[in-house]
Amino acid sequence: MAWFNSLARSGAVALALASYCRAVPLVSEPETTVTSDAAATACEVPVTDVTSHGSYTGPPPTTTGALSTDVLSPTIPSLPPEQHKLEYPADGRLHAPEPAPYTPAGGLGTNGTEPVYRVQSGFDYESIALALYQEWIELDLFHYGLATYPVEEFEKLGLTAEDRYLLQFMAEQEVGHATLLSNMLGPQAPVQCTYNYPSMNLQEYIDFSQKLTRWGESGVYGFLNHLDSRESAQLLLQSISTEARQQLIFRQFEGLFPMPVWFETGVPQSWAWTLLAPYISSCPANQTRLIWQNFPALYVLNQPNPARINGADVWNETLGDYANTLSTADLTDSDACLNSTVVGENCRAAISRNRTIPLSYPGRQVFLEWDAPGQAVGPNNSYVTSTSAGPPQFAAWVSQLNVTYSPLQNISGNTAYTIQPNTSTYEGDPAINGTMFLVLTDRELPVTPFNLTMLNPFVNAVTIYQAG
């Protein structure tokens, strides 16, 4: 390092002399180029392009239903808060010795032990395995879009070659995510499957993708802070933050406002699995099975349609799938927002769009229909939808920090309607907005973002609602 010190000293002298001059021209040009070999990197998990899609046509499954052992209780009992969580005096002062300079006492995983990035419990394994199933389908879905739709279809929506490369790059991100989660799970980690998507044009594909990435993101937020492995939670947080950006990108591709909420929602694993499993056609033999419940499907008969200028004025404009993906089949040229040149109506891809006519609003009648339990879904048709709830009585609107209930009205068999509530997270932030979750329940159970899974025993059906 002697040469560096010498140069540094000579530079200091030059600067000192410069202070006595009116102007000294200084041109800095590199005389050498420093190169180095690339550092060794971890191997990616093997991936292949899935070449076949469609419904399952194989033999009946030999194992049917979610993974299970002895069940200790039909529900988790409600308990008062742990007393120690009410005792810390939040006054901005330090109340315990510092374990190191500038380090307050407390925190999890802060005692200097070497991090171990592997699952530590059944809860960890099953949760991260669910997330891996999600990463695999996203890898396939993004490649599927590029392979299926011609360039002119993308350009019709306002999507250029650079936008298509962004879609390709998002697929490459999924390789990294799948590698990360596979390494945390070990040799029995779930592998790629084959998938069964609805028959879609490109505009419908983008809507389906922004809904699929919504439950992928929210499904991880729901369990992230419950993981026993805090180290794994840290890495998963860093991957799901990318997933959140993917969901935003698909909203921009769809001509929706990119982030219409102040807080993103976390939902239970069984809700995410309910929405994901129907799109998995078949998986390899001995594929890792999941413990999570598959709830019956819930259909919004007047699901808001972002492809329409007046997206709230609709009836039966979905593809009929679990995600309530929009359908463009009944759109006339004058109704399609793609054809409008009016600001507030046009929905070509953009950084941001602010719709003049909202997709939904408080006081809107929302008409619902739901399946009976007992339907075979998921990989190899080897999972069965179920519910332990009584007859549905309420719609639970799950968005941001709120769970708001509205009573079901005119219940007739497996149909009813409800009124979209008027509720805010904070003043000026309508809680019901964005791509959110709507479930049917048999009661109004008070739950919050951290204990939302307490609602599961009382859930009848689950879906996505396109509130904004």
Res 10 pLDDT > 90: no
Res 55 pLDDT > 70: yes
Least confident among 76-90, 156-170, 335-349: 76-90
Q: What is the pLDDT of residues 256-288, one digit of tens each?
A: 999 999 999 999 999 999 999 999 999 998 899
Q: What is the pLDDT of residues 152-162, one digit of tens each?
A: 999 999 999 99
State which H helix or E strand residue 437 sits in: strand 435-441
Res 9 pLDDT > 80: no
What b/e readout covers 234-270, taking b as 16+ CB neighbours within 10 angstroms? ebbeebbeebbebbbbbbbbbbbbbebbeebbbbbbb
Q: Mention every residue, 6+ apart, whose C-beta is less than 8 A from residue 383.
A: 64, 65, 66, 277, 294, 376, 377
Residues 342-357 have a mean pLDDT of: 94
The more confident residue out of 22 and 435 is 435
Distance CA 212, CA 223 (A): 17
Res. 44 pLDDT band, cuts 50 70 90: confident
Q: What is the pLDDT of residues 356-369, one digit of tens each?
A: 999 999 999 999 99
Report pLDDT for 12: 37
Res 424 pLDDT > 50: yes
Report pLDDT for 48: 80
Residues 67-76 have a mean pLDDT of: 86
Res 18 pLDDT > 50: no
Res 391 pLDDT > 80: yes
Residues 227-254 have a mean pLDDT of: 97
In one letter, which amino acid is 228?
Answer: D
Residues 184-196 have a mean pLDDT of: 95
* Alpha-helical runs (H) found in 81-201: 122-148, 151-156, 161-185
Report pLDDT for 5: 38
Report pLDDT for 157: 96
Report pLDDT for 69: 85
DSSP string, 250-264: HHHHTTS-S---SS-
Res. 64 pLDDT band, cuts 50 70 90: confident
Is there a contact between 196 and 55 (Cβ–Cβ < 8 Å)? yes
What b/e readout covers 346-373, taking b as 16+ CB neighbours within 10 angstroms? bbbbbeebebeebbbeeebebbbebbeb
Residues 69-98 have a mean pLDDT of: 88
DSSP annotation of 317 reads: -
Report pLDDT for 14: 37
State which H helix or E strand residue 11 sits in: helix 2-18
Closest CA to 66 of 385, 390, 440: 385
Report pLDDT for 15: 34
Mean pLDDT of the chain: 91
Least confident among 6-20, 60-74, 451-465: 6-20
Q: What is the pLDDT of residues 127-184, one digit of tens each?
A: 999 999 999 999 999 999 999 999 999 999 999 999 999 999 999 999 999 999 999 9
